Homo-oligomer: A and B are copies of this chain.
């Protein structure tokens, strides 16, 4: 019974999803709280997820010509203030450095909440001719936003992310890059994280401060809530004008270039947990799992058992991320821990298995167990990992598709939002008043105007009844 202790301490998802979440992040040792209010500590198991996200996503970036740079973490107040909408959007939630090296600073500087301003300042210096374009830069860094309420991975005063910032000769090129990066994000979530998303455009209210258009991928968590998982912004030439970026065009006259930015953060770790996790803990898709296979010896003190585990790891599972749990704890405890930490595949090897030339292989996602000949592991395990990845995506997709409802009148809309965990599709007149009213009445927000499956389902706004302009996906969000 004590073996199950780790697991039994988790709150059930159905009982209290929020507590289940905080139980999992703590018990799976993904994070710890810190004495710095509102900031979290990424422990090895949590940071390893971010490292894998970085590696896989960075490779996709570089295939599209992205180059990485690193900009200062401070932004002088005067620089932040050059773009009006942008400063209004961010100034209220920044942290200010006012003293340095024992002296009060002449001008205070904020710790970057995002770096549009610094990139503009750089582009102003290095972009002079159409020959200098495009620049497709990205940085991996931490940013600070002074949030009032925080939750591990989802909302934290400091978080890790990447921010891409590009500058282009034409509006068309900028729009194409904005959508290209949105697709990179969606492909990455689908293929590597087994998370399906809805791609679409944000309404003006939900747009990034200073952008002409913001595109988003929205994922659905197990509890039916939305998590905005990546955004891509087209700035038009607004920032270029505000920051004085100019280039000599092919026509030999001066122009402002067009810009984009796009970001994805450690909140994605929250999505991984809430899309795939279950009442036994984390369930990690194989492609992102820091440990893909854990080998647990049974009666490990018996001659040959540990040796066989090591032999299997070395000779049968080459190229996979394998760990042998040879600690001095009972197999039951190790099983519970493997489940809590979400390692996709568990292999059990004991004396009797060795005699029979076989082992037990268990899937974390379904709990299914099978007996596999040791000689067949090399062929079987990679295929099993592929199947797990595929099945996890299919289950998440089914959940997403089965949790989207249509509403044509406001009563129906409110009832669905209230009673059915998931998203609601409904028509919208295009006025922010209706978005505000829906939020006030239901706490749901417009997630996006989807690119696909967006044919009108009525000709009236679900809220005010006036002529409808767009189909919008609504949902409660993290």
Contact = CB atoms under 8 A, between A and B. Distances in A.
Interface of A: 32, 34-36, 39-44, 47-48, 50-51, 67-76, 79, 92-102, 108-109, 111, 118, 121-122, 125-126, 137, 141-142, 144, 146-148, 157-158, 160
Contacts of A146: 100-102
A99 B92 contact: no
A148 B126 CA distance: 27
18 contacts: A32-B125, A35-B79, A36-B118, A40-B72, A42-B70, A43-B69, A44-B67, A44-B68, A47-B69, A73-B73, A74-B95, A74-B158, A92-B101, A95-B99, A96-B97, A96-B99, A97-B98, A97-B111
Contacts of A76: 35-36
A137 to B, nearest CB: 7
Nearest to A92: B102
B47 A68 contact: yes
A122 B47 CA distance: 15
Contacts of A42: 69-71
A19 B111 CA distance: 32
A34 B122 contact: yes
A39 B101 contact: no
A68 B92 contact: no
A256 B409 CA distance: 67
A34 B118 contact: yes
B93 A101 contact: yes
A33 B5 CA distance: 56
Nearest to A121: B35
Contacts of A72: 34, 36, 39-41, 158
Given A41-B71, A44-B69, A96-B99, 13 more contacts: A34-B118, A35-B79, A36-B109, A39-B72, A43-B69, A70-B142, A72-B158, A73-B158, A93-B101, A96-B98, A98-B98, A99-B108, A141-B142
A96 B103 CA distance: 10
A68 B95 contact: no
Nearest to A39: B72
Contacts of A47: 67-70
Given A40-B72, A51-B68, A100 B109 contact: no
Nearest to A33: B125
A149 B168 CA distance: 36
A97 B42 CA distance: 22
B70 A160 contact: yes
A283 B100 CA distance: 37
Contact of A36 (B39, B40, B74): B74
B44 A137 contact: yes
Contacts of A35: 76, 79, 121
The 8 closest A-B pairs by CB, nearest first: A101-B146, A39-B72, A44-B67, A42-B70, A96-B99, A95-B100, A36-B72, A100-B146
Contacts of A100: 94-96, 146, 157
Nearest to A96: B99
A137 B51 CA distance: 15
Contacts of A126: 32
A137 B42 CA distance: 11
Contacts of A96: 97-100
A144 B99 CA distance: 12
Contacts of A122: 32, 34, 41
Contacts of A69: 41-44, 47
B142 A73 contact: yes
Contacts of A79: 35
Contacts of A95: 74, 97, 99-101
A122 B43 CA distance: 10
Contacts of A34: 71-72, 118, 121-122
Contacts of A121: 34-35
A62 B141 CA distance: 22
A99 B40 CA distance: 19
A146 B105 CA distance: 11
A121 to B, nearest CB: 6
A74 to B, nearest CB: 5
